[in-house]
C-alpha cells in the first residue's frame, strides 16, 4: 500500500490542478464567521508557528535577480522553499493597505473592504484612511494621541480563524507601517505593533486593550540602531562593479529627493529641505535599518510570548516596510534596492537561525509574499524605447482643474463638477447638474467619456461599469474587485501602462493592474516542505485558505476568494 501512495497523491494532484485551471469565481462576503464547517482534521502534523512575511513592494524578480549574491535567508527561501514563480495580486488598485488585507484574509478588496490606502467615503464625502478609528488611542507612547484599528476591515483574517478554532493560539503582527501591521493582524489578534517616530519604538492601539509590555518600552530604535544611524548607509559590498552590472548606474537624477541620489546615504548627505530634526526619521524609514529593527522586535515577540513553544499553533505576521520607502525614493532599478535585498538576506538569516534554535526548523512555516510591486521609473523606461511618462501630482491637479472648467462650459454649469480627484479616481458634485436635469449616471458617463480622451488615461470605469456581470472589457474585473459599497470614487481610472500618474517628480510608485505592480513572490519554506519551483499562475488570495488547511481550521471554502494550493497541502500529507 505504501508504494501506491505517491502515485495516488500525484494522480489527485493532477486532477486538482486541472480543476483549478478552469478559473476563479468571486462569491459574496460572509455576513458572519460564527457557524464553521469542519475541514479535514486528520492526523497530519500542524506547524507550531506560522510566519506570514510580507516585504513591501517586493517584485517577484528580486528573488532571482540578485540571487548570485544571496548567502542567507533569501538564499534559503529561494533554494530550499516551495517557490510559486507566477503569483499575482488579482485586484486593480495595487496598494499597501489592500495588499496586506488580501494576504491576511484570502479575499479580494470587494469583500474585505480595504480598497485603497485612503478611500473616498461616500457618506461623509471625505477621504478616509484605511485604518482610521477616531475611538482608538495610542498605547505604548509617552503621550496620548489618536491611533488606528482594523475597524474598516469587513471580514476576518487568517489569524482570526485560528483564534476562533484554537483559543490558546497566539497571534501577533508587527511592521513599521501602522496599516501593514493592523491589516495583517486581522480583526482580533493578541496585539499589532508599528513604529512611532517620536518615541522611536513600536506602539499599539487601545483597540487591542491597554496592555503594553515593559520589554517593548525598553527596546528603543535610536539606541538599538545608534551605530547604523551615525555611520549611515554604505554599500554592503563596497565599490564592487557587480552593483552596476545587476542594478544599473548609481546617482540617477530622478533618485534625488530626501537623500542625494548616490551612495553613501547619511544624515549629512540629504536634501537641504530636510530639516535637522527630521533626519533621524529618514535614517529609519528610507534605509534597510528600519526593517532590521522590525525583525529584532519580531524575535522578541517570539521569545516573550513563547510563540511556537507547544503543539497549539501560533501566528506571527511581519511586514518589512522600509523596502517600500527605498523603492519609492530610488526606483526598482537602483543600486539602493539591490543593496537593500543583500542586507535583507542577512537580516532574514539571523531571524531564521533564531527560529531554528527557538522553535525547530521543521516546526515553523514561513510564507513570503508582498503587498504589491513597483513600476520602473518612466525616465529609465523611456531610455529603453518604452512609451513611458511621468505626470506629477502638480501637473495632475492642473490638468484636472482645467478639465473641470471645460466640462462646466460644455454642460452649461457654473460650479465645480469634480469634488475629489486623486490617482485612484474621481468623485463628482451632482447638485447643480441634477437641477439641470442631468441624472447622476448620465453625468458619470459624460465625465468618464471625456476623461478617456486624456493622453495618459487608458480607461475610466463608472459605478455602472463596475456593476456589470461577466465583464469582458480589459481589466474591468480587476477594478470590480477593488470596489466596495460606500467606498471609493464615482469613477475609477486606469492609466496607460508604464505611465506614472499623480506622483512626485522623483522616484517611483505602484497602484496599477499591470504585471510590474501585481507580480509578487510567493514562497513556502520550512515545516519539512520540499524545495520546488511551480510556474502555474496562482494568486495571493490563495495563501490564507492554504494556511487554513495546513492548520486544520474549521472554515468553509466560500469564506475565501482564493483556492487551496495542492502542491503545498499534498506535500505535507506525503
pLDDT band at 539 (very low <50, low <70, confident <90, very high): very high
Residue set of the binding site for substrate: 117, 177-179
pLDDT band at 550 (very low <50, low <70, confident <90, very high): very high
Output the average pLDDT for the chain. 92
Least confident of 29-38, 125-134, 249-258, 381-390: 29-38
For 381-433, give the secondary structure using H, E and C: HHHCCCCCEEEEHHHHHHHHHHHHHHHHHHHCCCCCCEEEEECCEEEECCHHH
pLDDT band at 37 (very low <50, low <70, confident <90, very high): very low
User: What would the mean pLDDT of 123-138 be, rounded to a whole number?
Assistant: 96
Predicted confidence (pLDDT) at residue 57 exceeds the cutoff of 60: yes
CATH for 49-357+516-573, options being 3.30.1490.20, 3.40.720.10, 3.40.50.1370, 3.30.1330.10 = 3.40.720.10
Q: Beta-carbon neighbour count of residue 416 at 10 Å?
A: 14
Does 389-464+489-497 match 49-357+516-573 at the fold level? no
- Give the chain's radius of gyration (CA, Å): 24
- Residue-wise pLDDT for 70-108, tens only, equals 999 999 999 999 999 999 999 999 999 999 999 999 999
pLDDT band at 573 (very low <50, low <70, confident <90, very high): low
Q: Is CATH 1.10.1370.40 correct for 389-464+489-497?
A: no
Task: Give the pLDDT of residue 505.
Answer: 93
Q: Is 467 exposed, middle or buried (0-12, 13-18, 19+ CB in 10 A)?
A: exposed
Task: Give the pLDDT of residue 44.
Answer: 77
| Structural domain boundaries in the chain | 49-357+516-573, 389-464+489-497
* Kind of pairing between the strands at 201-205 and 191-196: antiparallel
Structure-block grid coordinates of residue 360: 525547530
* Kind of pairing between the strands at 146-148 and 132-139: antiparallel
Percent share of the chain, pLDDT over 70:
92
- Residue-wise pLDDT for 7-26, tens only, equals 334 434 444 444 454 445 44
Predicted TM-score of the model (pTM): 0.93
- Which residues is 563 bridged to in the sheet? none
Residue of 39, 96, 286, 294 marked active site: 96
- Residue-wise pLDDT for 501-514, tens only, equals 989 999 999 999 99
Task: Give the pLDDT of residue 166.
Answer: 93
Task: Give the pLDDT of residue 242.
Answer: 98
Residue set of the binding site: 117, 177-179
10 assigned to active site: no
Least confident of 18-32, 37-51, 391-405: 18-32
Predicted confidence (pLDDT) at residue 518 exceeds the cutoff of 80: yes
Amino acid at each position: 500500500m505504501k508504494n501506491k501512495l505517491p502515485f495516488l497523491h500525484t494522480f489527485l494532484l493532477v486532477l486538482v490542478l486541472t480543476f483549478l485551471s478552469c478559473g476563479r469565481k468571486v462569491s459574496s462576503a460572509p455576513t458572519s464567521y460564527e457557524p464553521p464547517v469542519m475541514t479535514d482534521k486528520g492526523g497530519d502534523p500542524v506547524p507550531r508557528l506560522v510566519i506570514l512575511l510580507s516585504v513591501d513592494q517586493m517584485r517577484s524578480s528580486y528573488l532571482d535577480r540578485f540571487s548570485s549574491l544571496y548567502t542567507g535567508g533569501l538564499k534559503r527561501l529561494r533554494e530550499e522553499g516551495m517557490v510559486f514563480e507566477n503569483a499575482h495580486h488579482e485586484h486593480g488598485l495595487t496598494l499597501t493597505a489592500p495588499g496586506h488585507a488580501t494576504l491576511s484574509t484570502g479575499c479580494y478588496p470587494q469583500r474585505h473592504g480595504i480598497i485603497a490606502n485612503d478611500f473616498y467615503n461616500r457618506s461623509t464625502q471625505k477621504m478616509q484612511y484605511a485604518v482610521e478609528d477616531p475611538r482608538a488611542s495610542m498605547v505604548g507612547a509617552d503621550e496620548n494621541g489618536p491611533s488606528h484599528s482594523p475597524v474598516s476591515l469587513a471580514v476576518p483574517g487568517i489569524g482570526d480563524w485560528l483564534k476562533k478554532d484554537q483559543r490558546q493560539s497566539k497571534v501577533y503582527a508587527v511592521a513599521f507601517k501602522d496599516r501593514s501591521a493592523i491589516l495583517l493582524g486581522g480583526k482580533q489578534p493578541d496585539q499589532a505593533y508599528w513604529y512611532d517616530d517620536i518615541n522611536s519604538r513600536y506602539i499599539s492601539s487601545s483597540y487591542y486593550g491597554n496592555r503594553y509590555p515593559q520589554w517593548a518600552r525598553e527596546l528603543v530604535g535610536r539606541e538599538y540602531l545608534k551605530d547604523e544611524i551615525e555611520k549611515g548607509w554604505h554599500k554592503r559590498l563596497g565599490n564592487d562593479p557587480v552593483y552596476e552590472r545587476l542594478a544599473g548606474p548609481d546617482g540617477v537624477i530622478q533618485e534625488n529627493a530626501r537623500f542625494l541620489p548616490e551612495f553613501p546615504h547619511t544624515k549629512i548627505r540629504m536634501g537641504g529641505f530636510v530639516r535637522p530634526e527630521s533626519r533621524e526619521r529618514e535614517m529609519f524609514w528610507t534605509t534597510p535599518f528600519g526593517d532590521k529593527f522590525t525583525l529584532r522586535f519580531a524575535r522578541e515577540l517570539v521569545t516573550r510570548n513563547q510563540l511556537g513553544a507547544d503543539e497549539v499553533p501560533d501566528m506571527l505576521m511581519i511586514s518589512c516596510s522600509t523596502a517600500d520607502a527605498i523603492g519609492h525614493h530610488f526606483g526598482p532599478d537602483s543600486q539602493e534596492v539591490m543593496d537593500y535585498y543583500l542586507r535583507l538576506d542577512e537580516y532574514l538569516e539571523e531571524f531564521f537561525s533564531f527560529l531554528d534554535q527557538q522553535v525547530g526548523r521543521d516546526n515553523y512555516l514561513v510564507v513570503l509574499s508582498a503587498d504589491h510591486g513597483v513600476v520602473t521609473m518612466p525616465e529609465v523606461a523611456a531610455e529603453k524605447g518604452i512609451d513611458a511618462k511621468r505626470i506629477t501630482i502638480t501637473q495632475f491637479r492642473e490638468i484636472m482643474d482645467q478639465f473641470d472648467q471645460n466640462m462646466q462650459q460644455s454642460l452649461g454649469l457654473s460650479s465645480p463638477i469634480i469634488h475629489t480627484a486623486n490617482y485612484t479616481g474621481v468623485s463628482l458634485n451632482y447638485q447643480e447638474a441634477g437641477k439641470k436635469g442631468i441624472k447622476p449616471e448620465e453625468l458619470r458617463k459624460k465625465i468618464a467619456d471625456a476623461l478617456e480622451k486624456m493622453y495618459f488615461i487608458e480607461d475610466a470605469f463608472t459605478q455602472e461599469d463596475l456593476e456589470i456581470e461577466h465583464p469582458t472589457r480589459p481589466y474591468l474585473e480587476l477594478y470590480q474587485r477593488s470596489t466596495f459599497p460606500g467606498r471609493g470614487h464615482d469613477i475609477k481610472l486606469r492609466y496607460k501602462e508604464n505611465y506614472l500618474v499623480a506622483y512626485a517628480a522623483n522616484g517611483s510608485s505602484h497602484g496599477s493592474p499591470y504585471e510590474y505592480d501585481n507580480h509578487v513572490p510567493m514562497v513556502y519554506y520550512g515545516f519539512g516542505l520540499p524545495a520546488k519551483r511551480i510556474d502555474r499562475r496562482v494568486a495571493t488570495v490563495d495563501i490564507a485558505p492554504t494556511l487554513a488547511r495546513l492548520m486544520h481550521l474549521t472554515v468553509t471554502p466560500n469564506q475565501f476568494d482564493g483556492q487551496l494550493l495542492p502542491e503545498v497541502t499534498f506535500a505535507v500529507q506525503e
